[in-house]
Structure 1
Amino acid sequence: MLHRAGDREEARNRLSALWHEIGPKGDAFHRCALAHYMADTQDDPRDELDWDLRALEAAEGFVTERPAGPAAAPGGTSVADGPGPRHPLVALRAFFPSLHLNIAADYVALDRPADARAQLRRARASADALADGEYRQGLRDAIDRLQLQLDGAAGPAR
């Protein structure tokens, strides 16, 4: 709320306090979401990239370190049998397109077009894995807009 109201500094201060409270061993889902929001409060694009990369690292660590099989999810159910999008693993997987898109935008801001294109490919692939719906379409539209911006910055093909 502070960030949306224009108080980026206070939002950054409060999110930073939460980040230290959660700590490096804290819940990966919470670290991912918090780092994702923290990135948006940064004034320097390098700092924004650092926070977006922390969010991605937390999400990837959670997804790759989860045990497979029926005991993987709370209550002894598999992810497929889980309680829908509220299940942390499903929610994190749905978060990947947005994470990659934000990192691509960070790279555009830092004039790193090759890195931006690589992240856009990852964003597109992870968005394609989502179920059809408004969220997926919104992500695809945002990916396309950033791709056009990136292609325009590259100038005409020679």
Structure 2
Amino acid sequence: MNVSDTTQSAQETMTAITRAVELGRTGSAQAARDTLLEIWAALGPQGDPLHRCTLAHYLADLYDDPAQALCWDVRALDAADGLTDERLRRHDQNLDVRGFYPSLHLNLADNYRRLGSFDAAQREIDAAQGYVDALGNDGYGAMIRTAIDEVAAAIRTRTTARRASAPHGHG
């Protein structure tokens, strides 16, 4: 396989992931889960870390059960740990791996919190806060900063209820 074939295949995989995510956002959560699980199986454990991270990150959001979401969020973080800036910039020149970590740790913190594991949640929210400087001064950065503050407050008060602003997986 030559480099252009690899690039085309990578773009096709990311397009398939994006289409599945859109299914979930339009209310077809089960169809989105099924499609993402098929792609995950095809990627395998040695698949492209960008694809594995992106897919697991979005798949976690499709589960209301915090234990199921946690499994996928751990997989997303593990994949990010194998992702390089070089690989990421082949996908988008404006991204760096460090910028993924605030959201990844935030999601872990929120799942641990919802499961009542407040010490683990605190470790993850501390990690998210440690990467917050990697966020841009844009809408996405503001959204993640706000969510970090919400989860930190919920950890302090030992609240396990779903946050109103959290993604919902039903549908």
2:64 aligned with 1:58: no
Out of 112, 116, 123, the position equivalent to 2:117 is: 112
TM-score (norm 2): 0.71
2:35 match: 14
Q: What whole-Å deviation, never above 9, does each CA across 1:41-67 have from its counterpart, x for those lacking one?
A: 12421111010000000001224xx8x
CA positional deviation for 1:151 = 1.4
Q: Which of the two has higher C-alpha Rg? A: 1
Give 2:35's aligned amino acid: R
- Cα contact 2:63–2:69 (8 A) shared by 1: yes
Aligned residues: 138
> What is the aligned partner in structure 2 of residue 69 from structure 1?
none
What is the correspondence of 1:142-153 to structure 2 with a 5 Å cutoff? 142-153=147-158
The percent identity for this pair of structures is 39
Deviation at 1:153, TM superposition (A): 2.3
Residue ranges of structure 2 left out of the alignment (5+ in a row): 1-21, 160-171
Quick one: distance in 1 between partners of 2:26 and 2:138? 29
Equivalent in the alignment of 1:125:
130
CA deviation profile, 1:94-138 (whole Å, cap 9, x unmatched): 111000001101001111011111000110111123444443333
Contact 1:99–1:123 (Cα < 8 Å) also in 2: yes
Unpaired runs of at least 5, structure 1: 67-72
Q: State how far apart, in whole Å, the 2-side matches of 1:41 and 1:111 are.
A: 20
What is the deviation of 1:4?
A: 1.6
Q: What amino acid does structure 2 have at the position aligned with 1:19?
A: W
CA contact (8 A) 1:36 1:51 kept: yes
Most deviating of 104-113 and 18-27: 18-27
The DSSP-based 3-state class of the residue aligned with 1:3 is: helix
Q: AA paired with 1:136?
A: G
Task: Tell which has more relative contact order, 1 or 2 (C-alpha 8 A, sep 6+).
Answer: 2
Instruction: Report the residue type matching 2:61 in the other structure.
Output: D
